[in-house]
Structure 1
């Protein structure tokens, strides 16, 4: 099991005393008894991601916010504050494996902001990501297995709540499925799609649970 420490980069930036950009970027730091060099490699990844985003906020996004303020003042519109919020949640942390997802929310005006989710599952013995294929038997068509379960769950959800997914969802799940978009829980995998990929914004972040099936000492995903 890894020990996890939270770090945060944050600031509220102003133009002529008017707040126009606020960012809060959380990122994890890990220590481990498995391989600390591997943990340091993973830590560098998250820190670099966070600082790159902060640089983007302080430069490009801030300039966009300044232009927005000038436009709003010229047209007598109320000023808006751009917002960036990055948060993560650890969903699995046992032995030398840790899984988590990170949500990056950004608001730059309009009816609502947008969220991008990223999933990571790490092996702290070597500092590498564990792919979704590792949770299926060797040679299994895991992509078809996953989409079969996803489409079945969407059908059931539509029976209860019509309109919560696009009509051509089977085509969209096939086109938009990304092998990186998953995370691990103690009981199974959760695969997800980004906003608007398979469902309207009101549905939220579409997620689908694929339970583990115990096969002796081996654990893999069922329905394959």
Structure 2
């Protein structure tokens, strides 16, 4: 998923602002288990999200994988490709652990150091809002080091005749300087916390910055190491409705109703 896999393999109000304005390779036999993350969030009418689960354990690695399978989208071609991509990403992560953990075991035996079993854990969470089919997929990889690495990919899919995974830049009206608005709101939250102000290094959101809609808020997400040290985890900043709703495109607003 993105550039994370390669990194993981080696190691993880504001009126003023508004006026300024924006086939798998598997060595062991998969054993069906319960989903790692229960799908308890509301399902969008007509759209069903079920789970596909793979669990494996050997002396060299352990895998606990539960990915979403989406059905009921208006755009069937998009739906088929989305499910295929989600499955392939999980299979690739599993295959990589199988290969690397086997090599690590060979090296450990050769050079006389203890073998620490690798791990890959994939789970998901549904955040469905209106006609926006939103969910996140979390991947945790452990490669035998001091700690593992976690990455979360957020999907925000407009369930239209021609479906689209909306990026952050797709949300806002043309001409809106949403970077300015979001950057200042995030900086305000950082400065309000002395610990964050000292440890965080934030400059700007990207056009494809991960985001989600939660409890009415627009939540901007950052990956491990992106704006702070590993100990800070994956920082997230909630932008309240009054600070962003008027900046959204009308068709995006309709998706949220």
Tell me which interval the TM-score lies in, with the shorter structure as reference length.
0.7 to 0.9
Going from structure 1 to structure 2, the CA distance change for 1:162 and 1:124 (only over 3 Å counts) comes to closer
- Which is further off, 129-138 or 146-155? 129-138
1:63, 1:128 → 2: CA distance?
Answer: 34
Q: What does the per-residue CA deviation read over 1:36-70, in whole Å, with 9 as the maximum and x for residues that have no partner?
A: xx256235323333234314533x43222122112
Q: Which runs of 4+ in 1 moved over 6 A?
A: none
Q: How many residues align?
A: 201
Q: Which residue of 1 aligns with 2:186?
A: 150
Higher relative CO (Cα under 8 Å, sequence separation at least 6) belongs to 2
Q: 2:62 aligns with which of 22, 31, 38?
A: 22
Q: What's the CA shift for 1:133?
A: 3.6
Q: What's the CA shift for 1:163?
A: 7.2
1:163, 1:78 → 2: CA distance?
Answer: 40
Q: Which residue of 2 aligns with 1:44?
A: 81
2:80, 2:220 → 1: CA distance?
Answer: 24
Going from structure 1 to structure 2, the CA distance change for 1:105 and 1:39 (only over 3 Å counts) comes to farther
Q: Which residue of 2 aligns with 1:76?
A: 112
1:100 has 2:130 as partner: no
Unpaired segments of 5 or more residues in structure 1?
A: none
Q: What does the per-residue CA deviation read over 1:134-171, in whole Å, with 9 as the maximum and x for residues that have no partner?
A: 543432111221111111111122x2x357734xx13x
Q: Which residue of 1 aligns with 2:220?
A: 191
Q: What's the CA shift for 1:122?
A: 0.5
1:205 has 2:241 as partner: no
Going from structure 1 to structure 2, the CA distance change for 1:27 and 1:44 (only over 3 Å counts) comes to farther
Q: 2:56 aligns with which of 2, 7, 11?
A: 11
Q: What does the per-residue CA deviation read over 1:60-118, in whole Å, with 9 as the maximum and x for residues that have no partner?
A: 43222122112222343322111111111112332x21212221111101110011121
Going from structure 1 to structure 2, the CA distance change for 1:51 and 1:24 (only over 3 Å counts) comes to farther
Tell me the TM-score normalized by structure 2: 0.68
Backbone CA RMSD of aligned residues: 2.5
* Contact 1:120/1:180, CA 8 A, preserved across alignment: no
- Which is further off, 41-50 or 148-157? 41-50
